[in-house]
A = this chain, B = another copy of it.
Amino acid sequence: MQAIRDPAAIRRKCTRFLAHHYPLSPKQHLQQVADAIPDDMEADTYGSGAVITAFEAEVAQLLGKEAAVFMPSGTMCQQIALRVWSERRGFSNIAMHPQNHLDKPEKHGYLRLHGLTPLLIGNLETQLSVADVEAISEPVAALFLELPQREIGGTLPTWGDLTAMTTWARDRGIPVHMDGARLWECGPYYAREYREIAALFDTVYVSFYKALGGIAGAALAGPADVIAAARVWQRRHGGNLIRLYPYVVAARLGLQQHLPRMGEYVERAKQIGAILAGIPGIEIAPEPPQTNMMHVFLQGDISRLQDAALDISEREYVAFWRQLQPTVRPRWQRFELSIGNAALDIGDNEIDRWFREIIEHGQA
C-alpha cells in the first residue's frame, strides 16, 4: 500500500482516458467556441435572436418535432414538459422507472416546485416491460421513459417493446415524454433516424454536453403549442437567460463533431465490453453494451482496486474512472463507463493488461 495519493492530481497528468472524450481545458474549449462564432453574429436576447432560434429549428428538425426550445439544463426541460402535460391533463401523477433522474439526482424538483407526484412502475434494476406500463391503474399526467436507462447501465427496451409501451399510453391519451439525456447514443442500437425514435414520444429532452461534448445545455422538442408554454415556464424557472450563446454555439459544434461518430463510440464500447467481460473477476451490464455506456463490476477490495488503478495511471498516464462505488454484492465494486473519442486510441491488449493487473491487485 502506498501513502494517500490525490487521484485528481494523478488524473491531471494523464494523457489517455478510458472514458469520454479527450478533455478540453476551459481555455481551449472557450477559444474553440469563440473561433467558431462569425464576426457579425449577434447575441441572443432572452431566447430570441438568430443564433438560438436557428439552432432550435435544427434540433426540432433532427427530432422531427414542430418546435424546440434551448434551456440551460435538462432538469429544467423535464420538469417543465411534465408541468405542461399535467396542466393540460388535470392529473399530477408521473409514471416512471424507480431509477429515474428526477427523484434523487434532481431532489424531487418536479414534486417540490410543481406539485407533481411520482408513480413508480417496474423493477429497480431492470428495464421497463410492456406489462409494467399496462399495469398503470391510476390517472397519470404523462408516461416518462428514459432512453437509455442510465442507472441500470444504459439499457434500452427493444424496438418492439418501446413501440408497444408508447402506443399503449398514447392510445389512452397519455402523453409520453422521453428523458433523452443520452438519446444520441441510442441511434446505432435502433438503427433508425432520431426522428423515428422521437416520433414515438410527444416531448423529447436531449442534452448537449455528455457524448456531444458541449459546455452545458439542453433542449426540449415537441408540438409548437407545448413548446410555447414551456418557454413561459422557462422564464419562471429562471432559465430564460439574457444570453445563452456560449452554450448554444458549443452545442452546435458538438452536434457537428460528435453525432456523426456515435456509431464508432458505440462499436468501441462493445469491443471494450467484450474484453472486460473476458477477464475473470470482471462483469459488465448490459452485456453486450447497447449504447456507448455500460456498468463495469470489479471483484476485489475497493481500496486495493483503486490503488492498482492509480498505480497504472501514474505509470502509464491513463485514467480509468472518476468514482468506484460499492455494490450490494460483497467484494464487488462498480463504475460507470461511457466511451468517447479517447478510447479509440487505446489498444485492446492494453485494456486487457491493465484490467488484469487491477483485478490481480484488488483480489490479493
Contacts and interface: CB of A to CB of B under 8 A. Distances in A.
Contact of A42 (B26, B40, B108, B215): B26
Interface string A155-178: 000000000000000000000000
A241 B73 contact: yes
A243 B240 CA distance: 17
A246 interface: yes
Nearest to A218: B238
Interface residues of A, number: 49
The complex is assembled from copies of this chain, and their number is 2
Contacts of A241: 72-73, 216
Interface stretch (A74-82, A282-290, A345-353): A74-82
A41 interface: yes
A280 to B, nearest CB: 35
Contacts of A25: 39-43
Contacts of A242: 209, 216
Contact of A216 (B51, B75, B244): B244
A29 B244 CA distance: 13
Interface string A35-55: 001111111000000010000
A236 B26 contact: no
Contact of A232 (B40, B72, B77, B107): B107
A259 interface: no
Given A30-B34, A237-B238, 10 more contacts: A26-B249, A27-B37, A27-B39, A31-B34, A73-B241, A75-B236, A107-B236, A113-B237, A209-B242, A209-B243
Shortest Cβ-Cβ A-B pairs, 8 listed? A76-B238, A75-B238, A109-B236, A30-B34, A73-B238, A27-B37, A246-B246, A216-B241
